[in-house]
Amino acid sequence: MAGSLIKIDEEIVSSAVASVTLTGIDSTYDVYMLVFNNFVPTTDGHSPQMRVTESGTPNTTANYAVAQKNLFADTTSGNGYAENLTSFLGFSAVGNSAGESSNCIMYLFNFNNPSEYSFCTWEGTGVEADGNGAGRQGGGAFFSASACDGVQIIVSSGNIDTGSKFTLYGLKK
């Protein structure tokens, strides 16, 4: 397994930003992996969201759908799903107090294939805005057959705070 992950792009937020874009997805790899580390929003109680990029431009059409299992430390766990969205969503809605953050690993499939829909799976965990732990596992599809060359990470409200780290890897064939 050593050498299986090839770093394509990385962004460590040094001052609050509205979005982070990682590019470099092409036909070199069949599967790509996106890792969020220490995601923190500037506005309390909001979650990271992701859009595909086409020729470096984020696609904001309502062609995204998601389904996931929500696991909560303080309340009943359950399922969530939605369609006709303008981004993939569903990661932990974290706060901006000390110790609160979200981490996630996403696998990206068919992103550079213009004849197929792009889809992804994810596993995420975090300390949410209420201070309780949460986890989510799920997936989503982007219902537009197009060649996607990257991802844009945004937050549901506010900005992405300093220290948040995003890394895009190719999985060696």
**DSSP letters spanning the chain:** -TT-EEEEEEEE-SS-BSEEEEE--STT-SEEEEEEEEE-BSSTTB-EEEEEEETTEE--SS-EEEEEEEEESSS--EEEEEEEESSB--S--B-SSTT--EEEEEEEESTT-TTS-EEEEEEEEEEBTTS-EEEEEEEEEE-S-----EEEEEESSS-BPTT-EEEEEEE--
Looking at residue 71, what DSSP letter applies? E
Residue 1's pLDDT is: 54
Q: Show pLDDT as tens, one digit a residue, over the chain (173 residues).
A: 567 999 999 999 999 999 999 999 999 999 999 999 988 888 877 778 899 999 999 999 999 999 999 888 887 888 989 999 999 876 666 767 777 788 999 999 999 999 999 999 999 888 876 778 888 899 999 999 999 999 999 988 889 988 899 999 999 87
Instruction: Say which residues have a Cβ less than 8 Å from residue 27's Cβ, sequence separation at least 6.
Output: 112
- pTM (predicted TM-score): 0.91
Residue 16's pLDDT is: 93
Residue 54's pLDDT is: 97
CATH number of 8-171: 2.60.120
Residue 97's pLDDT is: 73
* CA–CA dist 138, 114 (Å, integer): 24
Residue 86's pLDDT is: 93
Residue 61's pLDDT is: 96
- Tell me if 76 sits within 8 A of 136, measured CB to CB: no
Sign of CA dihedral 136, 16, 57, 82: positive
Residue 123's pLDDT is: 93
- Tell me if 135 sits within 8 A of 127, measured CB to CB: no
Domain boundaries, the chain: 8-171
Give bridge partners of residue 155 from the DSSP assignment.
48
